[in-house]
């Protein structure tokens, strides 16, 4: 390979002119994903169930546009209509998710259904609708699903969340097989124990928090910003030959 064969590094991660739809954009990992993509030049559509002024302010301060899209993913939706409201997008980050904890023998059907709807059914509907749009437009698309360490493990008291995250990783692989030849990549990121609303109960439990920290080789809870580089990589032009993969960002948890 000669020097002329080596692409400009900045161009590999340049998202100028791209438009990204990020779900669960109000805070945490979703807001960090918005910031990472905006920093690379993308304009952002943030999807959430309530207003997200903090995310909007953060993105517009970076000189990028931010459009808020209020959608309740806990309810059945016409996802093609949701994508029509979002406008043409080149990138989808499926981040929205919830977790509910109960002992297995008392796990209510309502919480099973609710978590599968938000974490898996809505993610599939949005990814399918986004892929339809990307393929029809003939653009190189990027879909990134936020999975979990519980895509690989069983967990405790989180049966519906574990089932949904296992399903989301399987969906990532299945979609990648069908879309790779049409210029759309589908990948996942599995965060470790990140300081977000979903882990507030664990962090408030001193014994459980300490046990978790003792098992993380990095010795700390992750921050949403720890996922920014992985999000950017999987959404960037330079990752066009990466599909069906799952990147763990876990401080070494899975290697332990």
Nearest of 184, 20, 136 to residue 86 by alpha carbon: 20
Alpha-carbon span 130 to 143, nearest angstrom:
8
Name the active-site residue from 13, 79, 161, 253: 161
Please indicate whether residue 161 is annotated as part of the active site: yes
Residues 154 and 182: their CA atoms lie apart, in Å, by: 34
CB 232 within 8 A of CB 155: no
Distance CA 72, CA 81 (A): 13
Q: What is the strand order of the sheet 141-146 is part of?
A: 66-70, 43-48, 19-23, 91-94, 141-146, 184-191, 246-249
Beta pairing, strands 43-48 & 19-23: parallel
Query: For the chain, give me the number of helices (H) and strands (E)?
Result: 10, 7
Query: To 5 degrees, how large is the angle CA 71–CA 247–CA 34?
Result: 35
Cβ–Cβ under 8 Å, residues 69 and 49: no
Report residue 62 CA to chain centroid gap.
21
Residue 120: CB atoms within 10 A of its CB come to: 23
| CA dihedral for 213, 119, 75, 67, sign (positive or negative) | positive
Q: Catalytic residues, which ones?
A: 161
């Amino acid at each position: 390979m000669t020097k002329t064969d080596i692409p400009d590094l900045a161009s590999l991660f340049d998202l100028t002119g791209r438009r990204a739809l990020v779900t669960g954009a109000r805070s945490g990992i979703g807001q960090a994903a918005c910031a990472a993509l905006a920093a690379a030049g993308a304009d952002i559509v943030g999807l959430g169930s309530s207003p997200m002024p903090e995310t909007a302010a953060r993105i517009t301060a970076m000189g990028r546009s931010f459009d808020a899209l209020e959608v309740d993913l806990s309810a059945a939706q016409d996802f093609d209509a949701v994508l029509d409201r979002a406008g043409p997008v080149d990138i989808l980050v499926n981040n929205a998710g919830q977790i509910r904890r109960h002992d297995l023998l008392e796990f209510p059907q309502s919480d099973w259904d609710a978590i599968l709807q938000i974490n898996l059914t809505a993610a599939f509907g949005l990814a399918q609708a986004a892929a339809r749009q990307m393929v029809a437009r003939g653009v190189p698309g990027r879909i990134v699903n936020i999975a979990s360490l519980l895509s690989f493990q069983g967990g405790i008291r989180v049966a519906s969340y574990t089932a949904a995250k296992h399903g989301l990783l399987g969906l990532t692989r299945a979609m990648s097989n069908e879309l790779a030849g049409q210029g759309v990549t589908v990948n996942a990121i599995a965060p470790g124990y990140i300081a977000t609303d979903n882990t507030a109960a664990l962090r408030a439990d001193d014994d459980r928090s300490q046990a978790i920290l003792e098992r993380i080789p990095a010795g700390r809870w992750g921050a949403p910003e720890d996922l920014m580089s992985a999000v950017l990589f999987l959404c960037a032009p330079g990752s066009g030959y990466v599909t069906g993969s799952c990147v763990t960002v876990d401080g070494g948890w899975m290697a332990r």
